[in-house]
Structure 1
């Protein structure tokens, strides 16, 4: 009788712990939404004046719903305009002196987000710049020269890097790809090609949606992204516990799976980029810069993950962990990944009716 008691406990304790982990993540991660990357937009469009004395602008400031510091309330991000200009709601009058002086956004110290600034003049030229918490203002000297190609490209590269680093579902999906390729015993080249396939697909649908060639509703896309992570976690869990379950496309051709799901992920943040817009006349360059930034960010994340995985493996060997404990450590990231994806999927599906 006594020998049979511990057996059921050993079976049920891990299951109960996993159930508790799932419940905790579901209760605490409900507000999570896809693609936390949300730049703000400050756009000034010069109003034509028949007398030829321009100096009046339509001003539009679009703030994201939240930043890494939390929800952004109304009035927490406000425009900074030159001292001689007068701002009346969405109308900025700068008189004969014109738009000269400091221009930017106040409140970035409390809510650290990037701000895409677009100045559009009546002669068709445009100035494009990117501000942030470290540089909340820019100096306008009255010139109406279009932003240089180097500036636009570098600004959007930075935005692409920021997107991947602040996008929780992207990071989780990249983690799943790393775990899948490493568990399959593939080399680093396969991993790089897999991540690059994800970026390529991501770029195709991002460009198509941003250029309004394809329009897909946002909520179903966000739910689909969460579901894609859940399916990847399920595939990982099956393959990690049963090697006979690895005879699938996901294990044999991870780059194909990355490309397929990458098409879906590309739609996920295209809406955010469309809201703030792209510099007219330099849209292809801005999209290229953004996607280069995403690829650089992903490769940096992959490099860090590989170092962490190698360090954890070396630490486990040095500590001489029992096989069962080491096995639990291998499965834990997959469980957490699946639990988060499950919570996001339920939350976003319920959001269809919210």
Structure 2
């Protein structure tokens, strides 16, 4: 006897959820985005002037999109007349003029924040990447032929913010949960935008506070808390889901006349009385404060350009907001497409509800695995 399509859909959904958990949960860590840092600090000679000698630090992240970054995979590129020793760069009387950058970005595509600090107080900041692994230093007042100015720093950090949100699986999953929550609560797109913006505003506050060293929170508990926030959000979504709940779903719009059982009405009433469903922007703001400490943990490993920290932070947060809004727009398109497809193929209400539950199962499963992994990491 052939099994009904609903049975196959349920089993296929569960299989996809388990597969996603196995593939993602093991290596997943919060904020895998880690730019590299190339910092050169000029050393004063006996007279207190710059003598063409620099302290050089190249700090590489542990991972790139191509995998683990080993020792020596990323190396400094220095002007030909300069001599590079262990943590020292000697450019002699010619000074720091020529090509400066990082080799190996073709194999490990990461961004590189370059910071130059001269004895006379001049500071130059730039961002390099696989498409532009070097910069030209020509001895002008700003240090580069490209003119590293405030506009350039702002644009560079906007790009870093967009990249951060797109490469942060836990942040993306939380934003995905917010979209589902607002839609399930029957709110409009304007409410959704305010909810996402509240999330950005909150993590901007704690990111700035942590970066300026006004507040310090250890990294491991923050990462575990971020995973737990996703798990709690998934729970809120699951509590409002029953086979008979008369609530709009991403794939199905239930007619108001649809018969709802006592258990369905009870689940719906619990959801509607929940703060998460009634005030999603408050939940987004509250958990956003926690996520901001996670962002700060990523940036603290490489630092921000001295003298331009406010501008860099503003650019980074603008980039995060743009990235989030782009993700939200894509999700709305996909959800609308899923609803249209469900209507075109004639899915039953029960089958459609099972399909809408699958993302919540996956979200909760991944969040649980991340929480367990990060808590166990306290003793690792």
What TM-score do the two structures reach when normalised by structure 2? 0.87
| RMSD of Structure 2 on Structure 1 (CA) | 2.2
Check conservation: 1:31, 1:347, Cα contact below 8 A: no
Check conservation: 1:230, 1:341, Cα contact below 8 A: yes
Query: Do structure 1's residue 173 and structure 2's residue 198 form an aligned pair?
Result: no
Choose the corresponding residue for 1:331, options 357, 366, 377.
357
Shift of 1:254: 0.1
Shift of 1:239: 1.0
Query: Do structure 1's residue 198 and structure 2's residue 223 form an aligned pair?
Result: no
Check conservation: 2:13, 2:358, Cα contact below 8 A: no
**Which runs of 5 or more structure 2 residues have no equivalent in the other structure?**
243-266
Shift of 1:98: 0.7
Distance 1:132 1:30, change over 3 A: same
Cα displacement string for residues 71-124 of structure 1 (whole angstroms, at most 9, x for unaligned residues): 111111111111111100110001111111111111111111100000000000
Paired position in structure 2 for 1:3: none
Compare 338-347 and 47-56 and name the one that shifted more. Answer: 47-56
Q: In structure 1, what is the Cα distance between the partners aligned to 2:12 and 2:134?
A: 53
Q: In structure 2, what is the Cα distance between the partners aligned to 1:54 and 1:123?
A: 11
Check conservation: 2:10, 2:354, Cα contact below 8 A: no
Within 5 A, what are the aligned runs for 1:1-354? 14=10, 18=14, 21-22=17-18, 25-26=21-22, 29-51=25-47, 52=49, 54-145=51-142, 147-241=148-242, 242-246=267-271, 247-354=273-380
Structure 1 residue matching 2:44: 3-state secondary structure:
coil
Check conservation: 2:42, 2:118, Cα contact below 8 A: yes
**Which runs of 5 or more structure 1 residues have no equivalent in the other structure?**
1-5
Check conservation: 1:161, 1:297, Cα contact below 8 A: yes
Compare 28-37 and 285-294 and name the one that shifted more. Answer: 28-37
Q: In structure 1, what is the Cα distance between the partners aligned to 2:346 and 2:218?
A: 51
Shift of 1:245: 2.4
Q: In structure 1, what is the Cα distance between the partners aligned to 2:357 and 2:29?
A: 25
Check conservation: 2:32, 2:167, Cα contact below 8 A: yes
Q: In structure 1, what is the Cα distance between the partners aligned to 2:136 and 2:16?
A: 54
Shift of 1:199: 0.3
What TM-score do the two structures reach when normalised by structure 1? 0.93
Q: In structure 2, what is the Cα distance between the partners aligned to 1:206 and 1:53?
A: 35
Structure 1 residue matching 2:241: 3-state secondary structure:
helix
Q: In structure 2, what is the Cα distance between the partners aligned to 1:14 and 1:298?
A: 31
Structure 2 residue matching 1:99: 3-state secondary structure:
coil
More helix by share: 1
Structure 2 residue matching 1:119: 3-state secondary structure:
strand
Check conservation: 1:100, 1:140, Cα contact below 8 A: yes
